[in-house]
């Protein structure tokens, strides 16, 4: 839920943490020595295996709700209070105590994070015969960088969280609540509150059908919301889990039979409907959608079996992600250093050994 609390175009932003977070965010939290959690609830989708979450860090937990402090992770410094007031008091105390600012103090740590960025970037695949869903998100972000974005729930939500670089307060999602059907009604609310802003809902073909009747509300009140469906014909995240953890036993997750024609559906409500099936048409179609004076429903047919990576499997720590790009061989050869205690190979001289916990 913290996405949008900090400008993601800032060089210090590392993106989302957790099950489908960036590798560099997960590595940073796994290896940091101090973690300041502001208004966080330490949900299992964020922490991964709880006893290995930030296991080498001291934790300062700030929250207005005392029930959240220590509920999942016991902090060394619990602070119950309004975040705005607490952070203001902390800054004031630093100034009053005359603590000098030393920008070079964390430079080695920032260099390390930057190296993780280079070694484990978020990857946008390119397929010769289909559009990758990540390509759609990147093109949306390029053409509408300052838009307010809402999402439904599933793979499209995670791709949007990964690849959209949102400014403060421009991301609206139900996050871990699993609320399929949230996206379009939320976009309606944003647009009514901020009529002069561009509002885009990123949805999936299954999530969208949870509240498709709200197309009537868009038409009735002329609410200028743009909805983009990443249509792979599946309940995408369900399919990914069935593939990865249930031996490819696909059950009730394919949505192709019974799926409506979204263009005709939009037209039935008096709304502009569009379909994109080829990469060469994607850029122009998005530009046309954004320029249209009124609500638009765009159906983008994307790669059917694309999975959302990186991913932390259930029961694993955040440092044990699957689907990471292979590191450069020169970097691999440079960094493989055995643990002095148990001999396990590690990736860098300032890692902790994952087997015995010894500082390398």
313-341 residue pLDDT tens: 999 999 999 999 877 655 554 455 566 66
Can you tell me the mean pLDDT for 224-233? 98
* pLDDT of 194 strictly over 90: yes
121-166 residue pLDDT tens: 999 999 999 999 999 999 999 999 999 999 999 999 999 999 999 9
Residue 333 is predicted with a pLDDT of 47
Residue 206 is predicted with a pLDDT of 97
Question: Residue for token digits 């946008």?
Answer: 124
Q: What angle do CA 205, 210, 216 make, to 5 degrees?
A: 100
Instruction: Say if residues 151 and 183 touch (Cβ distance below 8 Å).
Output: yes
Distances (CA, A) of 157 to 3, 140, 162, 251: 12, 14, 9, 22
Phi-psi region of 320 (alpha: psi -120 to 50; beta: other; left: phi over 0): beta
Residue 327 is predicted with a pLDDT of 72
* pLDDT of 104 strictly over 50: yes
CA dist 184 and 199 (Å) reads 10
More reliable by pLDDT, 105 or 31? 31
* pLDDT of 97 strictly over 50: yes
Residue 103 is predicted with a pLDDT of 80
Residue 315 is predicted with a pLDDT of 92
* pLDDT of 91 strictly over 70: yes
273-292 residue pLDDT tens: 999 999 999 999 999 999 99
CA dist 304 and 130 (Å) reads 9
- Mean pLDDT over each residue of the chain, to the nearest integer: 91
291-315 residue pLDDT tens: 999 999 999 999 999 999 999 999 9
Listed in sequence order, the residues at least 6 apart from 287 whose beta carbon sits closer than 8 Å to its beta carbon are 143
Distances (CA, A) of 274 to 126, 222, 226, 271, 347: 22, 18, 11, 10, 48
Q: How confident is the model at residue 354 (pLDDT cuts 50, 70, 90)?
A: low
Instruction: Say if residues 43 and 5 touch (Cβ distance below 8 Å).
Output: no
Instruction: Say if residues 40 and 63 touch (Cβ distance below 8 Å).
Output: yes
The lowest-confidence range among 61-75, 207-221, 323-337 is: 323-337
Indicate the SS3 state at residue 110. Answer: helix
Can you tell me the mean pLDDT for 202-218? 97
Can you tell me the mean pLDDT for 71-92? 95
* pLDDT of 357 strictly over 70: no
Residue 58 is predicted with a pLDDT of 97
* pLDDT of 40 strictly over 50: yes
């Amino acid at each position: 839920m913290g996405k949008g609390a900090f400008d993601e175009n800032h060089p210090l932003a590392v993106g989302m943490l957790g099950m489908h977070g960036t590798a560099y965010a997960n590595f940073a939290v796994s290896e940091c020595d101090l973690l300041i959690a502001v208004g966080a609830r330490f949900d299992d989708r964020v922490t991964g295996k709880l006893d290995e979450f930030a296991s080498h860090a001291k934790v300062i937990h700030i929250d207005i709700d005392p029930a959240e402090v220590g509920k999942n992770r016991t902090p060394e410094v619990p602070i119950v209070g309004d975040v705005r007031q607490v952070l203001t008091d902390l800054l004031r105390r630093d100034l009053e105590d005359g603590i000098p600012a030393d920008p070079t103090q964390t430079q080695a740590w920032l260099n390390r994070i930057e190296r993780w960025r280079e070694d484990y970037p978020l990857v946008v695949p390119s397929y010769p015969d289909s559009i990758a869903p990540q390509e759609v998100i990147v093109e949306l972000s390029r053409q509408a960088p300052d838009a307010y974005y809402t999402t439904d729930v599933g793979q499209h939500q995670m791709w949007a969280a990964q690849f959209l670089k949102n400014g403060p307060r421009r991301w609206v999602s139900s996050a871990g609540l699993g609320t399929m059907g949230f996206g379009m009604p939320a976009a309606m609310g944003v647009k009514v509150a901020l009529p002069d802003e561009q509002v885009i809902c990123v949805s999936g073909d299954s999530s969208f059908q949870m509240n498709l009747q709200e197309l009537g509300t868009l038409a009735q009140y002329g609410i200028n919301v743009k909805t983009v469906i990443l249509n792979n014909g599946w309940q995408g995240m369900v399919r990914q889990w069935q593939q990865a953890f249930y031996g490819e036993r696909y059950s009730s997750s394919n949505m192709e039979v019974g799926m409506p024609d979204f263009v005709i559906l939009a037209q039935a409500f008096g709304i502009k409907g569009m379909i994109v099936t080829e990469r060469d048409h994607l850029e122009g179609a998005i530009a046309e959608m954004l320029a249209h004076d009124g609500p638009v429903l765009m159906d983008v047919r994307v790669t059917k079996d694309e999975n959302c990576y990186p991913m932390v499997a259930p029961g694993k720590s955040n440092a044990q992600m699957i689907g990471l790009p292979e590191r450069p061989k020169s970097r691999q050869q440079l960094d493989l250093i055995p643990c002095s205690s148990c001999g396990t190979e590690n990736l860098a001289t300032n890692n902790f050994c994952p087997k015995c916990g010894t500082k390398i």
